Structure 1
C-alpha cells in the first residue's frame, strides 16, 4: 500500500490502483484498478447532521431509485469509531454493480469511502476495511460557522 495525505487526513491506498481526476464536490481521492475492476472514492464534506440523520437521508434516497437494491444498511464499529455502512447493488441494462459505502462523522466533517465493483465478493471485506482502518485524521478539514463553512487553515 502507498500513502495518501492532504494535510487533514492520511490513509493507506492499495497497490495497483491509479489516481483519476476527482469528480464531484468534496472528493479528496479517486482511484481505479482496471484489472480487478474497482474504483475507490474518498470524500470529506462539512455537515451538521449526525449519522442517524445521514442514515435516514441515504436510505430514503436509495429506496426511491428502483434500480438500486440495498442489501445491508447498518451501523458498524471500525476501530473504535461508529460508521454507517450501506452495501447496495445497482442494476443497469448491461450489468449489476456492487457499491459499498462507509460514512463516519467527526468534528462536523463527514468522511465517506465508496468502493464500486461489478461482482459480489466477501473476500473484499478485509481489503476495504484495511483502507478505512488506516485513516488517521490530523485535523478537521472544514469548520462550520453561522455563515456556512470554511477550510480549516489553522
Structure 2
C-alpha cells in the first residue's frame, strides 16, 4: 500500500487505485479502481455535533429518498474509536450501487470514509477496515469556533 498524506492525516492507499483530482473543499482523497469497479472517498468537514446527531440526520435524509435503501446503520468500534457505519444502496431502475460509509468525529472534525461499488460483498469488510485502521490524525484540519470554521494553519508537512 502507498501512503497518502495531506499534512493533517495519513492513510494507507490500496494498490491498483488511481487518485482523481476534485475541487470539493472537504474531499481529501478520491480513488478509483476501474477493474473492480470501486471508488474510495475520504473527506473531512468541520462539525459541532456528535455521531448520534449525525446518525439521526442521515437516517432522516435517506428516509426521504425513494431511490436509496438503508441496509444497515450502527455504531461500531474500530481500533479504540467509535465510528458510525451506514450501508445503503442506490438504484436508478437499471443500475444498483452499494455504498458503505464510516464516520468518525474528533476535535470538531468529521472524518468520512465512503466506499462505492456495484455489488454487495462481505469479503470487502477487512479491505475497508484496514484502510480505516491506518488513519493517523496529525492535527485537526479545521478549527471550529464562534459558529464558524477555519483551516488549521498548524498543519505538519
Q: Which residue number corresponds to residue 153 of structure 1?
A: 153
TM-score norm. by structure 1 comes to 0.97
Q: Which residue number corresponds to residue 104 of structure 1?
A: 104
Q: Runs of 5+ in structure 2 lacking a partner?
A: none
Deviation string for 1:102-132 (max 9, x for gaps)? 0000000000000000000000000011000
Q: For residues 36 and 60 of structure 1, do their structure 2 counterparts lie closer, same or farther at Cα, with a shift above 3 Å needed?
A: same
- Superposed CA RMSD in Å reads 0.9
Q: Which residue number corresponds to residue 56 of structure 2?
A: 56
Deviation string for 1:25-84 (max 9, x for gaps)? 400000000000000000000000100000000001111101111110000000000000
Deviation at 1:23, TM superposition (A): 5.2
CA–CA separation in structure 1 for the residues paired with 2:147 and 2:53: 22
CA–CA separation in structure 1 for the residues paired with 2:60 and 2:98: 19
TM-score norm. by structure 2 comes to 0.95
CA–CA separation in structure 1 for the residues paired with 2:145 and 2:72: 34
CA–CA separation in structure 1 for the residues paired with 2:25 and 2:120: 28
Q: Which residue number corresponds to residue 75 of structure 1?
A: 75
Deviates more, 1:89-98 or 1:43-52: 89-98
Runs of 4+ in 1 over 3 A off after TM superposition: none
What SS does the aligned partner of 1:101 have?
A: strand
